[in-house]
Structure 1
Amino acid sequence: MELEEDKVGERMGLYKKTSGLIFDDGFHSGSLNSRYSLSPEDAPTLDISQNQLVIPHTDSETMVLFSVPENEQTLIFEVTADYIPQEVGDEGGILIWHDGYHRLEFLESKDSTTREYSKWRAQKEGNRWTFYANRGSGWELFDSANVEALKMGVVLKNPEKLNYDALKLDRWILCRSNKITIGNLPQGYTIYLCDSSGYMIHSATVEPLWTGVELDLPILPYHGILKVFDENGVQLSSIGPVDLYGGDMYLYGTDLRVLWKGEELNLTNDTYLGTMYDHVIEVQMELYNPSNNKAATGITMGILKYLEEFGYEWADICHDDGQDKPSGNYTQKLDMGTLGPLDKMKFWMKVERKSERFGIKPIHFILDITHL
């Protein structure tokens, strides 16, 4: 999102780099998403008039589950349901499932709910799951346990009896975290999370040797505003009101992108450059500024080490000579100057074997971009 209204520091602004949202389903589409597994298959039904998934009691238990996303160290799962058990034995809530014997249940039961709507939360860190409930005054911590989960969702337990209630699911949301990250900030800058009216909810200041902050979100999504202030208390930028999801990453700057064959390089996973033949890979790329009104100045690009892996030693970059050929002056740090709104600048990347090394794994490195 472009920040058109900035008056101070208008060459820079907050923009959303990546989303933490995996899905947000309020059952408005009129059909169930194919990600869901129903058991029994014909028991849950959509109430289109109320935008609810109605989960009834069955002979054993009724489940609506989906696969736990792979390779996610953290997750946050929030459920909003219309469910107020009135009888002992009427129990329903979140289910974290490995198999029939290894599972975690976080269940509402008689007298545990005093408000019309139930809100439940499960938070994953590794194989540790922590459970919370919110009855209108904030999240309360209830329990925590370990399981290597394959599926997750909701369950309604025990066969139907007189005065048992169906579990009416209003909305559920899955995100990568309960925090948002704001990066590319100098030391001493402060980020404020505000409600939609501009009143501050949380704030965080960039500490020495850090380049960003994290802020907890009260609920998912949180409809609010982010504001950036410098070390002297001058507001430089803001964005919103927008819906903020856990795991969202915002950066302060211009949204520079690196394109290869017309496609943006992957921001969250590897970009495969190919197999090395004759000891070298050499490819042309483009640095692109998609902003309509913000120029990026003082741009530098560099090759950085990825974790503790070998690879960056063989990678270099250089300018294009203006005729779609490398200038020949390869280095690991390159001054790219200024890139105006919607401008592109070509450059070259070369990965060249510089020493004997035996290994069967791909080599890895990071292409880092900084600018004002």
Structure 2
Amino acid sequence: MAQQHLDPTDPTAVPVTGDALAGYLRGQATEFLRALRLHRETGGTGAAGGPGGPVDAARALRRSARRISGSLHTFQALLDADWAESMRPELAWVSGTLALEHAYASRLERLLQALHRLSGAAVVPAQGGVAVGTGPARGGVAVGTADPGGPGARAHSSATADPGSPGSRPHPPAATDRGNLTVGAAKAGALLERQLTLARTRAHSTALQALGSSRFHAVADKVAVLASEVPLAKTGATAELGPAAAAAEERLAAAVAALPLVTAGSPYNSEALIHGLSPDPAPHPQDAPWHQVRLLLRLHRYAREVLHGEDAPVDLRLLAAGQALDRHRDASEAAAAAAQAARTPRIAPATAYALGVLHADQRHEVEAARYAFQRCWQKETVGTP
């Protein structure tokens, strides 16, 4: 498998030293402070999707925090060890706290769209809205024209109970079953919307509390100092970054080599569905190595940014692999949310069945993401400026 990206250990290449790392960290710290100022100006409220609004500010905060934390991890040998060890978990806390609200919103949107696709709805309405189509909507999922459990259905059942009565025709059992499944999908959507909207609201409150806490203010003060002064080690300014970046790439390659890529290279292998009926409510155990590869891939990308700066060539293979692993993470977490909803006490059998179908659908999406990752990872790297 040929790789055509720039090799940081190439002896003919111009060595990149700790000064480049210091400049990168100062730039990311400046972006962090700019995003924080924007978030404070918007008050953390307002139009969620508006450009320059609180969502954009929170995303920029997370972006800078991840890059600073990742660089501290990869190039820790060039930095003051105590300072780097104290900063990394705090930046991870900031990034993780701010990511929860967006994660819950994206998860709900993904699951509702999947329910529409699985139930054959012609229109995907806005979240919490009403579908325009064959009938009313419940919980954002289109349902049939009549509730099989309602008075109209009971009247229809009694009217067709006697096959010999004039003008009566037996009601097909399959239609009744299909109606039950449709209502089950609607109730499953409503249940997911209640649970994930509540979780999103709590995550929003948690983020606001975190941004106003003394812990966050301490992190912001340290980032403000970082924007002007980077605590390098004694020899950090002149030390080369190539070996540390190469080590990050080697860790990624080793983690990818441990993945079952041979199995993932075969579509519809059903590997992602194994243990799908396990009563264990913990996250799917076989997903953990793939999540680890996603994190290592991110660290490798950040190391490339430090080495090449704004002139870094675009590695199309890394870009496609990262997108596939993001899909893998999203589908895995969506499947876990569907399974958690199915454990809700006293839900109707049709609702539980719809959630089970939804869980299996998202596990198939996990498998498809693994297949996409395997396909793109085996391709040659093509760099474009």
TM range (shorter): under 0.3
Greater relative CO (CA pairs within 8 A, separation 6+)? 2
TM-score by length of 2: 0.20
Q: Which has the higher helix share?
A: 2
